């Protein structure tokens, strides 16, 4: 592949063209003994040049401060800047990790208080903030499955996962040493009860489920599902990444789940593009509290302390308090919105998704014809006869200045486009999004070639994305 050199502000500009400091001014004499001549020299530029460089780069990038980011399942909502200010406060950001409990009472109090809020929101009994992401929360949860049955001397080797599940669910089960049984979805996009009943027996540790699922559909059979699993002694794990649809409306604890993970960086607002930072706290019902990773935050009288004394703890998952900055942002978000505000956010998320679904189904096939929750899935399959694939549609969207939805997921929908507008977009933005997607649908019919070439207006065109992830080339590519 041809090497790419980004032109930041003027075409063809490279670091070598940037003004250099004069000879002798470059290195701080105090640092000189530490500078190894064999290392790649860094460009020497003024503060102003550095700032211009990064501002230009951020302009090339697409982010939620620039426009709608309708990635299904990932909840890329607007993240209030107030959260950032709070997370940066010195009392939080400058705490020494080895501080004694007595010296970090405010910090422990915040963890304790947010746990209290999350217990009310989810209907669970105890939380840990240790996991650094949803996937790590899943691993913690499934390790608890394992330990729980080990302690009961039961040999259970399998976990059931529906075919609509997020990829991390089967991956987590396999990583924790379980065999994965995939069960099909029914015509309404929910769990096929007969298939679940057939798969569920005393070899099965439990079920991993998200509700609403990745099709954005709420499974009304959830109590029956829970009872099928519990009757055979299994546990239910709730993938809470879709909680944006149900804050203040429905609770996994009431649906019969034993363990849940939340994605604070999705539902409770932290910018998380590019893989982090995240926080994936898990909550459990009473009978599983002593299996949680240590430490838990507890309160005795008016004093908060870290409790390491749990009979069956799966151990330690993360240093110190977890990704504490993300927890602070979630805390500010929950406190600022309050109970009513959280419910309003979820209602708006569902309303926005249904508005888009209703308008877009005229041009795209709607995969499941039902009222959706916070997201929905379209199929681009009717454009295949023009030689146009969903990937082409997604790439063309970039030309119109919007981020594409999630594509080719969930796997059970052919040519899937998974759309989650979130609660934070205005009707004008949603209408513009509809207009763009409808224009592209027309282009797909009339001018398929155009879509094959897209994107034409972006700083770089189609990249080998899988290759870039597997073999990232991070070397500086300007001339020095």
Ligand X SMILES: *Cc1c(COP(=O)(O)O)cnc(C)c1O
162, β-bridge pairs = 183
Residues 352-381 binding ligand X (CB under 6 A) are none
Decide if residue 243 touches ligand X (CB under 6 A): no
Candidates 210, 244, 269, 270; binder of ligand X (CB under 6 A) is: 210
Decide if residue 271 touches ligand X (CB under 6 A): no
For 177, 223, 303, 348, the CA distances from 216, given in Å and listed in that order, are 29, 18, 42, 14
Which CB sits closer to ligand X, 374 or 389? 374
Decide if residue 214 touches ligand X (CB under 6 A): yes
Residues 104-133 binding ligand X (CB under 6 A) are 133
Q: How far is the CB of 73 from ligand X (least distance, A)?
A: 4
Candidates 263, 270, 313, 323; binder of ligand X (CB under 6 A) is: 263
Which CB sits closer to ligand X, 357 or 406? 406
Decide if residue 241 touches ligand X (CB under 6 A): yes
Cis status, amide bond into 455, omega within 30 of 0: yes
Token representation of residue 248: 């203040």
Could you tell me which stretch among 30-38, 107-115, 237-245, 308-316 binds ligand X (CB under 6 A)?
Answer: 237-245
Decide if residue 176 touches ligand X (CB under 6 A): no
CB 86 within 8 A of CB 303: no
Q: Which residue is nearest to ligand X (CB)?
A: 134
Which CB sits closer to ligand X, 104 or 217? 217
Could you tell me which stretch among 100-108, 235-243, 347-355, 462-470 binds ligand X (CB under 6 A)?
Answer: 235-243
In 3D space, the residue among 445, 417, 412 whose CA is nearest the CA of residue 361 turns out to be 417
CB 72 within 8 A of CB 210: no
Candidates 239, 375, 392, 443; binder of ligand X (CB under 6 A) is: 239
Q: How far is the CB of 220 from ligand X (least distance, A)?
A: 19
Q: How far is the CB of 418 from ligand X (least distance, A)?
A: 10
Which CB sits closer to ligand X, 214 or 221? 214
Residues that bind ligand X (CB under 6 A): 73-74, 133-135, 166, 168, 210, 214, 239, 241-242, 263, 278, 280
């Amino acid at each position: 592949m041809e090497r790419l050199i980004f032109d930041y502000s003027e075409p063809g500009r490279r670091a070598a063209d940037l003004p250099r400091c004069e000879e002798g001014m470059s290195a701080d004499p105090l640092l000189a003994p530490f500078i190894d001549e064999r290392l790649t020299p860094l460009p020497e530029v003024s503060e102003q040049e550095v700032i211009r460089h990064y501002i230009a780069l951020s302009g090339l990038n697409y982010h939620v401060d620039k426009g709608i980011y309708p990635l299904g399942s990932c909840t890329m909502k607007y993240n209030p800047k107030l959260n950032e200010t709070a997370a940066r406060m010195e009392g939080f950001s400058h705490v020494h990790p080895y501080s004694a409990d007595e010296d970090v009472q405010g910090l422990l109090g915040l963890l304790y208080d947010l746990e209290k809020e999350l217990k009310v929101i989810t209907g669970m009994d105890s939380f840990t903030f240790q996991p650094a992401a949803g996937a790590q929360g899943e691993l913690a949860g499934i390790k608890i499955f394992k330990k729980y049955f080990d302690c009961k001397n039961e040999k259970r080797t399998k976990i059931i996962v529906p075919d609509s599940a997020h990829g991390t669910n089967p991956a987590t089960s396999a990583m924790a040493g379980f065999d994965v049984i995939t069960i099909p979805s029914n015509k309404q996009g929910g769990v096929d009860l007969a298939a679940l009943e057939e798969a569920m027996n005393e070899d099965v540790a439990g079920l991993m489920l998200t509700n609403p699922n990745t099709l954005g559909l709420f499974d009304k059979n959830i109590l029956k599902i829970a009872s099928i699993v519990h009757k055979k002694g299994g546990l239910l794990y709730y993938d809470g990444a879709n909680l944006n649809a149900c804050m203040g409306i429905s609770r996994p604890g009431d649906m019969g789940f034993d363990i849940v993970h939340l994605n604070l960086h999705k539902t409770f607002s932290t910018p998380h593009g590019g893989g982090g930072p995240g926080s994936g706290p898990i909550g459990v019902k009473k009978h599983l509290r002593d299996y949680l990773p240590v430490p838990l935050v507890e309160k005795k009288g008016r004093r908060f302390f870290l409790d390491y004394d749990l009979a069956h703890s799966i151990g330690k998952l993360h240093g110190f308090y977890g990704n504490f900055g993300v927890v602070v942002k979630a805390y500010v978000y929950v406190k600022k919105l309050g109970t009513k505000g959280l419910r309003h956010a979820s209602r708006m998320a569902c309303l926005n998704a249904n508005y888009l679904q209703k308008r877009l189904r005229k041009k795209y096939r709607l995969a499941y014809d039902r009222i959706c929750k916070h997201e929905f899935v379209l199929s681009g399959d009717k454009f295949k006869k023009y030689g146009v694939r969903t990937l082409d549609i997604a790439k063309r969207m970039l030309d119109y200045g919007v981020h594409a939805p999630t594509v080719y997921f969930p796997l059970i929908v052919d040519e899937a486009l998974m759309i989650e507008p979130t609660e934070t977009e205005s009707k004008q933005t949603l209408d513009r999004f509809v207009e763009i997607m409808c224009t592209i649908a027309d282009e797909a019919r009339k001018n398929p070639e155009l879509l094959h070439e897209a994107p034409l207006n972006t700083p770089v065109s189609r990249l080998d994305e899988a290759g870039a992830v597997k073999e990232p080339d991070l070397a500086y590519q300007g001339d020095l």
